[in-house]
Amino acid sequence: MILTLNRMGRGRYILYAIAIAISAFLLLPIVFIAFLSFGSSRWLQFPPPGWTLKWYQALFADPRWIEATLNSFKVGLCVTLFSVALGLPAAFAIVRGRFPGRALLHAFFISPMIVPVIILAIALYALVLKLGVNGTFLSFVLAHLILALPFSVICVVNSLESFDMSVEKAAIVCGATKLQAVRRVTLPAIRLGILSGALFSFLVSWDEVVLSIFMASPGLQTLPVKMWTTLRQDLTPVIAAVSTLLIILTIAAMLVAAFLRRRAAR
């Protein structure tokens, strides 16, 4: 018995060590990027010879970076709104619909997660060229929406499948109409799924680079496209500063989502 416990204890420590090693492998590059953003060297040199904030000052002093960031925010917000507006009724149709082909419809909505992004990018590029909207705000929103919509659909579908329909039926028995029951009972109950879908949709749009490169024009670029073009022209630590801010934004968004989930669970 004691020997078995000792073996279990050693196995637990081995698992801990493996988990720490994997976490370090995933997180150390992010930590290095954060250190490089404060380095005094003009190149991405590690360890930095000194420490400075000049790369952040250069970032905020360059209107091109500010404009690209604002473009990403605008596109991300529009994509989030359209993703939730389209994903919500689609999820209701998939979960509660009684028509042939529901499974096929579900597969259709999540297919952009399976198809390689480069294939979608080439197809969309040909389409927007034919429509004459390449390099416009509309082309960015439509392209990002194709990638973001599956996340909204999946989150809402999972919430609806775990929702107790008897609560909604009880509201109808008490005198509410079907629409009122959905609006006042079902939607508040699945709000975490809706918020999760909105958050993932925004992050997908915010981080997307392949589609954005195809949709971009000299007059309209998102932040990932600006980072990509800067990397090709000049490997400056400003890139590390931008990457660090993006990491902070992503962590903040995930913390907000966790806070809302915890608050709703109370």
3-state SS, residue 164? coil
| Whole-angstrom distance, CA of residue 73 vs CA of residue 146 | 17
| Whole-angstrom distance, CA of residue 181 vs CA of residue 266 | 22
| Whole-angstrom distance, CA of residue 205 vs CA of residue 180 | 33
For 147-185, the pLDDT digits (tens) are 999 999 998 888 888 877 888 778 877 777 788 788 888
Cis check for the bond before 218: say yes or no (omega within 30 of 0): no
Contact yes or no for 265/189 (Cβ under 8 A): no
111 contact partners, CB below 8 Å, separation of at least 6: 150
pLDDT of 91 strictly over 60: yes
| Whole-angstrom distance, CA of residue 242 vs CA of residue 223 | 9
| Whole-angstrom distance, CA of residue 261 vs CA of residue 230 | 38
| Whole-angstrom distance, CA of residue 236 vs CA of residue 40 | 11
pLDDT of 5 strictly over 50: no
Average pLDDT score, the chain: 83
pLDDT of 77 strictly over 90: yes
Is the pTM above the cut of 0.75? Answer: yes
Contact yes or no for 34/245 (Cβ under 8 A): no
For 204-241, the pLDDT digits (tens) are 898 888 888 888 887 888 888 888 888 777 777 888 88
Q: For position 161, what pLDDT does the model report?
A: 83
Q: Where are the alpha helices (DSSP H) in the chain?
A: 2-36, 54-61, 63-96, 102-110, 117-131, 137-162, 165-173, 178-181, 187-189, 191-207, 210-215, 223-233, 238-265
Q: For position 85, what pLDDT does the model report?
A: 92
Q: Which two tokens stand for residue 208?
A: 């997307």
| Whole-angstrom distance, CA of residue 15 vs CA of residue 25 | 15
Q: Domains along the chain? A: 56-265 (1.10.3720.10)
- Other beta carbons less than 10 A from residue 182's beta carbon: 17
pLDDT of 104 strictly over 80: yes
pLDDT of 263 strictly over 60: yes
Give the residue-averaged pLDDT of 20-47: 80
Query: Which among 116, 210, 194, 188 is positioned nearest to 158, based on CA atoms?
Result: 194
3-state SS, residue 98? coil
Tell me the CA distances in angstroms from 222 to 65, 144, 211, 255, one per residue in order.
9, 12, 11, 24
Q: For position 83, what pLDDT does the model report?
A: 93
Query: Which among 253, 244, 265, 194 is positioned nearest to 73, based on CA atoms?
Result: 253
For 54-73, the pLDDT digits (tens) are 888 888 888 888 898 899 99
